[in-house]
């Protein structure tokens, strides 16, 4: 479903961010990506939704190849992915409902189906009562739930989450993580980058550790490296 084959990404100014990575993510998997800042986690995730293209090697996501994809192919691919960030990226002048329906409107979804889908997904993330609120009236955890609702409203096959709990306190972190587990249980694959080792230790999910652009540990292949987290 997601496959990295000998992927290297370098930047002219900052050098190599990801080096010779091979990685395969199966349907409905839950993967933690961990490692120090600058290890290449964000770059790796960006290559999944093709915000960045490899300098060499190939990324294939649901049949779309990084080597041949046109901008239009990338737009189509992103409709099948949900993407969530540490800083939520909500539109401050729009309500919760409008933030979520925005994701459907801009891909030309028929108006008739938008209302129902938005209500369903807001119920799923526990914000059914706050549809009319503006983002600034919500807590950090609630804002991240809105962002997750927006990512989910298109029924993605995978959710890419880059430090989704980085700005949240412990309680909100647990809540968001619980929500991600539920989403995963319904069949959506999740790739989540995080610094929160506490969170990882308590779970049995696949864990990948990166350092200096390389995968130094993959719990699915225990022999891959010696230094487990």
Partner 1 sequence: MIRSMRDAFDTFQRSPLLSALSVTTIAFSLFALGLFGLVALNIREALERLEDRVEIRAFVTDGTPAEDVVRAATDIAGFPEVLSAQVVTQEQALKRAQTELGEFRDVFEGAILPGSIDLRLRAGMRDPATVKRVASRVKAFSFIDDIRYGEEWIEKLYRLRNIAGIAGLALGLAFAIVSVIIIGATIRMAVLARAREISIMRLVGATDAYIRRPFLIEGFAKGVLGGLFALLLTWLAQSLINRYVIHTIFFDARIAVLGLLFGAMLGLVGSAVSVGRHLRRV
Pick the piece of the chain touching partner 1 (CB under 8 A) from 4-12, 22-30, 67-75, 135-143.
67-75
Dihedral angle at the C-alpha atoms of 66, 67, 73, 76, nearest 10 degrees? Answer: -20
Strand partners, 2: 25, 61
Residues contacting 163, CB < 8 A, separation 6+? 85, 86, 193, 194, 195
User: Smallest gap, in angstroms, from Cβ of residue 210 to partner 1?
Assistant: 23
134 binds partner 1 (CB under 8 A): no
The correct pick among 79, 174, 206, 212 for binding partner 1 (CB under 8 A) is: 79
Q: What is the footprint of partner 1 within residues 98-127 (CB under 8 A)?
A: 102-103, 105-108
Euclidean distance between CA atoms 34 and 132, whole angstroms: 36
3-state helix, strand, coil in the chain (%, to 5): 35, 25, 40
CB of 135 to partner 1, least distance (A): 12
As a whole number of angstroms, the distance between CA 68 and CA 62 comes to: 13
89 CA to centre of own chain: 13
Q: Which residues contact 6 (CB under 8 A, 6 or more apart)?
A: 20, 21, 22, 56, 57, 58
Q: Which residues pair with 5 in a beta bridge?
A: 58
Q: Which residue of 4, 30, 49, 177 would you call a contact of partner 1, by CB under 8 A?
A: 49
Q: Which of 59, 83, 121, 192 binds partner 1 (CB under 8 A)?
A: 83
150 forms part of the interface with partner 1 (CB under 8 A)? yes
CB of 103 to partner 1, least distance (A): 4
Q: Which of 5, 95, 98, 154 binds partner 1 (CB under 8 A)?
A: 154
9, 41, 46, 78: which one binds partner 1 (CB under 8 A): 78
Residues 190 and 164: beta-carbon distance below 8 Å: no
Nearer to partner 1, 89 or 202 (CB): 89
Query: Residues 165-204: x/- map of binding to partner 1 (CB under 8 A)?
Result: ----------------------------------------
Residues in contact with partner 1 by CB under 8 A are: 49, 71-72, 75-79, 83, 89, 91, 102-103, 105-108, 150, 154
């Amino acid at each position: 479903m997601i496959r990295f084959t000998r992927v290297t990404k370098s930047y002219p100014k900052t050098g190599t961010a990801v080096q010779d990575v091979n990685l395969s993510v199966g349907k409905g998997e839950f993967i933690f990506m961990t490692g120090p800042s600058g290890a290449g986690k964000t770059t790796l995730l960006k290559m999944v939704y093709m915000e960045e293209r490899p300098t060499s090697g190939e990324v294939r996501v649901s049949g779309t190849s990084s080597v041949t994809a046109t901008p239009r192919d990338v737009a189509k691919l992103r409709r099948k992915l949900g993407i969530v960030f540490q800083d939520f990226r909500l539109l401050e002048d729009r309500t919760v409902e409008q933030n979520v329906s925005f994701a459907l409107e801009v891909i030309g979804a028929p108006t008739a189906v938008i209302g129902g889908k938005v209500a369903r997904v807001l119920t799923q993330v526990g914000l059914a009562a706050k549809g009319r609120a503006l983002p600034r009236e919500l807590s950090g955890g609630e804002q991240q739930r809105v962002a997750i609702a927006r990512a989910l409203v298109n029924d993605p096959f995978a959710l890419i989450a880059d430090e989704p709990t980085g700005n949240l306190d412990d309680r909100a972190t647990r809540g968001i993580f619980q929500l991600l587990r539920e989403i995963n249980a319904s069949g959506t694959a999740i790739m989540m980058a995080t610094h929160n080792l506490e969170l990882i230790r308590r779970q049995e999910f696949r864990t990948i550790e990166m350092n200096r652009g390389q995968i130094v540990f993959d719990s699915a292949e225990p022999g891959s490296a010696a230094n487990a987290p």
